[in-house]
Amino acid sequence: MTKYTVLTTFPSNRSSANVGDQLIEVAVKRLIMRERGNVEFLTIFREEPLEERLDEINATAAILFPGFGIRDVPMYPGCYRLLEDLDRIKVPLIPIGANWNVYPGDSETRRGLRYSAETMGFLERVARGVDRISCREYTVCEILRRHGISNTLMTGDPAWYDPDFFGQPLHRPSTIERVVFSPPLSAFYRQQADEVLSMLAKLFPEAQRYCAMHLTDARASTFADKRPTNDASMRSDVAEKNAFVRRRARELGFEVLELAGDVTKLDFYRECDLHVGYECHAHLGFFRQRRPSVLIAEDARGVGFNYTLGAGGFNGFIRKGREPARPPKEGGTSGYCVTAEEFAAAPARADLVADVRQYLEEECNNGFRRYGAVAGFIDETYEKVMAPFLRSLPG
């Protein structure tokens, strides 16, 4: 029986519990089993050292990197601890759904971004060992090409594929009976998020309204918008934002859903009619279960998904100037923090809510016609790109 090592982005032994990371891991394993039959997985959190398990890892067919995060944080050793001597790893290193994240992540960012020599050395080593690097959206392919890595393949994010819904059209509701909001990661978007919540409460006064929290406050603290030396200040900044969102949601008649750490809770989305918010994997959680969604991009992740999927996408920011150059992060391993200087170069859009409301009114009136191609795009990308890629895995 074929066995793969999976370096997951979901730390199951911690309280952080980002359900989006968990969804990526679960989806990858399910899709591989669908295409490769009954296989086994050795699952290790990406920040754990591999030294003590090297013999076991080298006995597997490959090391798979679902949600392969391209970051100067540094990337290796950092996001991926691995080993000091990578040559001791005797099996291929295979990304599945590689992603990138910077702020704000628009076309100007993509033209100017340059990764460090350390990150490029690791990326080039990975690229040499595979036929194709699986990327989860087109802008990841662009970024790698701009850095001289051309063997890329836009396979989509594993999390936007749910075999239970293959072949089914997108649900196009005639009325909105259940609507879900997801909050931003960045505390800088707190005011804009409040305006979106208020707009949804006014636009859908008779609907059941939910506020979906995909992360615990412990997880969110690693993505704080400031970089004080005092970790308590970092935690309190994001925790205050989350407490504010929960409070305002309840005041506006939303039920708060705590979804962190339990991917099965995302099945609730199939009972809902619409998502509007900032959480990328709430957006994908709706699309994979054939429900319409509006994603407000707060960084490169959302920008890339909106560009690739082509429906329901808005930038939450507006470009005002050039963001400052950012050196590789000192300390820490995962996450991406938006700095005050970066946010000043691309602050939150003051006119966003009016545009989103107009879009929602139009879609409610036309039966969500602009979403008509989403289901077919997901199905065709799986059939023609992702499935063949998974079938080509070694073993």
| Sheet (strand 208-213) strand order | 254-258, 208-213, 178-182, 274-277, 293-297, 313-315
Residue range 190-210: mean pLDDT, rounded: 98
What value does the mean pLDDT of the chain take?
92
pLDDT at 12: 65
- Could you tell me if 36 and 393 are in contact, meaning their C-beta atoms sit under 8 angstroms apart? yes
- Residues forming CATH 3.40.50 domain(s) in the chain: 3-163+378-391, 164-370
pLDDT confidence bin for 234, thresholds 50/70/90 = very low
The fraction of the chain above a pLDDT of 70, given in percent, is 91
| Span 105-148, pLDDT tens digits | 999 999 999 999 999 999 999 999 999 999 999 999 999 999 99
pLDDT at 338: 85
**Which class does domain 3-163+378-391 fall in?**
alpha beta
Q: Residue 185 to residues 46, 218, 277: CA-CA distances in angstroms?
A: 22, 12, 11
Q: Which residue has the tokens 């992740």?
A: 301
pLDDT at 133: 98
pTM of the model: 0.93
Residues 6+ apart with CB under 8 A from 219: 16, 17, 18, 260
pLDDT confidence bin for 228, thresholds 50/70/90 = very low
Residue range 250-272: mean pLDDT, rounded: 97
Question: What's the CATH code, domain 164-370?
Answer: 3.40.50
| Span 78-104, pLDDT tens digits | 889 999 999 999 999 999 999 999 999
Residue range 219-236: mean pLDDT, rounded: 42
pLDDT at 233: 45
